[in-house]
Structure 1
Amino acid sequence: MSRLFETRPEDDGLPGPQRRLAMLVLVLGTLMAVLDGGIVNIALPTLARELDISESRAVWITNIYQLVSASTLLAFAALSRLIGRHRLYIGGLGVFTLASLACALSNSIEWLLASRMVQGLGAAAMLSIGPSMYRVIFPSRLLGSAIGLGALVVAFGIAFGPSLGGGILYLASWPWLFAINVPIGITALVLALQALPREAREAGRFDWPGALLSMVMVSGFVFALDRAGHGNASTAMLLPLAVSLGCLALFVWRQRRAISPLVPLVIFREPRFSVAAIISMLAFIAQGASFVGLPFLFQSGMGLSPIAAALLFTPWPMALMLTGPFAGRLADRFNPTLISSLGLSIFLLGMLSLAMLGEAASATDIVWRVALCGIGYGIFQAPNNREMIGSVALEHSANASGVLASVRTFGQALGTAMVGMMLALSAGSLSLALWVCCACVVVALMLSLWRVPLARGDRAA
């Protein structure tokens, strides 16, 4: 870790002391944005009771945050080139902090959902450019290690959210799930104004039509999944789905013709990049659905308290912290697709064991299953991210970072919407959701094994 802040005469990027502060800003902002996507999951049964709403509607406290983030990540990544990444990051951090205060002060589900939407905008502004910020903060010789650390922060934030949420609920009421962000956000803002490197604005136009199409495309698809849980395939589901697919076609048409496209489609011509993106989304669908569905299973199905349910999640982030850095170092020496395939195999075993979990299971039965998922996901994620970012040209790395953040957030939103659909149909359908998660991991593993020769050939060249 200390070598990340050593300064050599030939280094580009920031000097060591400023580099340390800038890295702290990125870690704090990323952790808050990612944690807030999962910290509420463990509290959803509690929020449903205290706000007097159905469990399927309570899921939208999580889903609206993920949905807004997923639908605006690409737009913010493109906007950063025009206004400067440091301005966008500081602005997103400020919006997120103020929205967190609004969430804590909410006294109705409507006000809470509106505040969560604004929170999602602030989170998207930070997450969309976080990976690319490392390029101007760290020297080229340390870029791989810095990106690996950033991926670990994201993975840890996603996995640790339920445990932290349960601990807060044990000590305080649910508004503190959001209020805790306020002092951390203010501290990060002060540091950001001092430490983040300044950049000049680039000339060019913002692709407003492309941004609008991407937002409608993503939000329409997830909304269609939510409507499916409230009835059969009616107009309430088919209309947003049709709108989403139509916007997808128009978005591709627009990106092919725009002077400054929101997403250069050339990056998808590289099969290694495209396959890694699909694998990442499938894995995040499984993890996102698990992190929303298991709290309901532990609390509503097994009758456990929020703190007990949170403690059962603890092995996941702990295992991820132990295996993630080790897997990242292995990926620098060996074929990263082999490492990530091994991780997906272990993750699949963990998901299968959770899907077969009975309601009378002991804590020991749950803990080893959750730990197995954390081990597998820790081994999978960093090598897959390295494969995805490293497979595109340097000038498209910022766009690749935006796509990486988008598929992650979109996958989580799809997983959350799937659980909401299952809850609306029947509380007992949670086991079915876990089996669907297993199917997603099976497909991801098959794709990961298929791409191994592609990466091997590239390394040989």
Structure 2
Amino acid sequence: MLPVSETAAEIALPPAQPKLAPDAPAAGRGKAMAAILLAVSLASLDTAIANTALPQMAIDLRTTPSASVWIINAYQLAMVATLLPFASLGERVGHKRVFISGISVFLLSSLLCALAPSLGFLATARVLQGVGAAAVMSVNIALIRFLYPPHRLGRGMGMNALVVGISFAIGPTLASVILSIGTWPWLFLINIPTGLLALLLGRTHLPATPRSAHRPDIVAALLNVLTFALLIFALGQAAQRADAVSTSFAFAGAVVSALLLIRRERGHRAPMLPVDLFRLPMFALATVTAICAFATQGLGLVSLPFYFENVLHRSPIETGFLMTPWPFFVAAVAPIAGRLSDRYPPGALGAIGLAMLCAGMTLLALMPEHAAVWDISWRMALCGLGFGFFQSPNLKAFMASAPPERSGGASGMVGTARLLGQASGAALVALSFGIAGPHGPTLALAWGAAFAGLGCLASGARQLI
């Protein structure tokens, strides 16, 4: 397979900071940001909102609980496999076009999910929904970069992190409320009015960002999809201690696809898998930091319900309340950290946040069996404060370390790092249960502390560059 290369004449480098239309720029920026945040909230909610309804879905669709997990996996696999191709496409056709197309696909697939008569139909619709969500999440950070001047970029990143945190926090509660008054199809139907508003605001107020002149590479896109889909599948198989042959083939397929993708795009000015950006130390360290932090989050938020109920012997209702401080404090501190990142080095802020997260995870793992509610809550709050303090500065570091013409690739890598970290964390939770049995949650929390510590070192290393 021959590598793809392009001459400098084929690449039209855009200006560093495109502006909104001259008419009412402040109002236009606010409405454009509203479109982005509404769409991001939908994509974030649908990552977890279906979990609560899985038992009822399995009954209504006449399938087994284990098979119903594909309702979740299909969405996540589609997202992680298509994020980078959409980010690359955004650089070619404009981030606004990809964003609007993503919302449209998300709306259509939400309707199909609500009307699904079988598990196969619903899983297919969820794949389509994940593709739409990936289109939105692949360019949302790039669009924010073109909405805010550099000295205020942290505010935009903080608002984005705030919405993601709130959406993640209220997802299970919102699902419970909807299911208490209606059936599971309404979990998908509620997307439609919010999505239509985001579509209207986006079409009218989002800026038309510069485009590069190089042609899309379909083969590279397919290789990217294969790489990440096989990698996530292999991680899940390994964590479940599934058949070693199929797991090995999946890992091998992911490695081969990645090598073919890198070879094909060698010499490309804007490769789909942004290996060119990894040559920038600040960007590479921001990626490592993000993967470590989101792996910690995955390890914590998946294992903690089992930890509270099986180790600390709390009831399911108490567990729901005990889980609240983490996402609440993430949402509360994210805008503050975003503003601070406009004044102080993001690497230092991220290191402080991940040091707090590491301490919180360690204290949770070492917590006595009969800990009081307050003892649990302040440890969870410390984890939330730490993660929220890390997130916005690291987002700014991601985007500020990449050249403006590579905003799409950087934005796509933000989402890819997040999903890889979360998927790895969830897989390690399953592996912890297989290794340690009833002590699996404690082992998972210990691994989470280790990942947070590694992320702290990676973030702090940016101060030495």
Q: Shorter-chain TM-score: what band?
A: 0.7 to 0.9
SS in 2 for 1:128: helix
Is contact 1:229-1:425 (8 Å) kept?
no
> What does residue 145 of structure 1 align with?
155
Give 5+ residue unaligned stretches, structure 1: 1-9, 455-461
> What does residue 462 of structure 2 align with?
451
> What does residue 134 of structure 2 align with?
124
**Match of residue 392, structure 1, among 382, 402, 409:** 402
> What does residue 259 of structure 2 align with?
249
Shift of the 32–201 alpha-carbon distance from structure 1 to 2, 3 Å rule, reads same
CA–CA distance in structure 2, aligned partners of residues 356 and 53 of structure 1: 40
> What does residue 32 of structure 1 align with?
42
Is contact 1:99-1:115 (8 Å) kept?
yes
User: Relative to structure 2, which stretch is displaced further, 99-108 or 207-216?
Assistant: 99-108
Shift of the 177–251 alpha-carbon distance from structure 1 to 2, 3 Å rule, reads same
Show CA shifts across 1:265-302 (max 9, x none): 33111112101101101111121233333345556885
Shift of the 357–120 alpha-carbon distance from structure 1 to 2, 3 Å rule, reads farther
> What does residue 280 of structure 2 align with?
270
Shift of the 205–358 alpha-carbon distance from structure 1 to 2, 3 Å rule, reads farther
1:35-46 aligned within 5 A? 35-43=45-53
- Partner amino acid, structure 1, of 2:453: V
Shift of the 359–420 alpha-carbon distance from structure 1 to 2, 3 Å rule, reads same
Is contact 1:35-1:157 (8 Å) kept?
yes
- Partner amino acid, structure 2, of 1:13: L
- Partner amino acid, structure 1, of 2:71: I
- Partner amino acid, structure 1, of 2:19: D
Give the superposition deviation at 1:147: 3.1
Give the superposition deviation at 1:325: 2.1
Residue 424 of structure 2 is aligned to residue 414 of structure 1: yes
Residue 75 of structure 2 is aligned to residue 65 of structure 1: yes
Shift of the 173–421 alpha-carbon distance from structure 1 to 2, 3 Å rule, reads farther
SS in 2 for 1:256: coil
> What does residue 220 of structure 1 align with?
230
Show CA shifts across 1:348-367 (max 9, x none): 12222333457765544432
Q: Provide TM-score, normalisation by structure 2.
A: 0.84
> What does residue 110 of structure 1 align with?
120
Residue 308 of structure 2 is aligned to residue 322 of structure 1: no
**What is the aligned length?**
444
> What does residue 341 of structure 2 align with?
331
- Partner amino acid, structure 2, of 1:442: G
SS in 1 for 2:265: helix
Is contact 2:53-2:179 (8 Å) kept?
yes
CA–CA distance in structure 2, aligned partners of residues 232 and 118 of structure 1: 27
> What does residue 435 of structure 1 align with?
446
SS in 2 for 1:206: coil
Q: Provide TM-score, normalisation by structure 1.
A: 0.85
Give the superposition deviation at 1:11: 9.8
> What does residue 285 of structure 1 align with?
295
- Partner amino acid, structure 2, of 1:332: D
- Partner amino acid, structure 1, of 2:271: P
Is contact 1:13-1:139 (8 Å) kept?
no
- Partner amino acid, structure 1, of 2:456: L
1:1-400 aligned within 5 A? 12-14=19-21, 15-43=25-53, 57-139=67-149, 142-198=152-208, 202-231=212-241, 234-258=244-268, 261-297=271-307, 302=313, 304-305=315-316, 308-356=318-366, 363-400=373-410
Give 5+ residue unaligned stretches, structure 2: 1-16
CA–CA distance in structure 1, aligned partners of residues 54 and 204 of structure 2: 38
CA–CA distance in structure 1, aligned partners of residues 309 and 66 of structure 2: 15
Give the superposition deviation at 1:413: 2.4
Is contact 2:178-2:186 (8 Å) kept?
yes
CA–CA distance in structure 2, aligned partners of residues 101 and 232 of structure 1: 34
Give the superposition deviation at 1:379: 1.0
SS in 2 for 1:332: coil
- Partner amino acid, structure 2, of 1:271: P
Could you tell me the percent identity over the aligned residues? 37
User: Relative to structure 2, which stretch is displaced further, 355-364 or 121-130?
Assistant: 355-364
CA–CA distance in structure 2, aligned partners of residues 352 and 112 of structure 1: 40
User: Relative to structure 2, which stretch is displaced further, 145-154 or 292-301?
Assistant: 292-301
Show CA shifts across 1:432-458 (max 9, x none): 33332222212212323333322xxxx
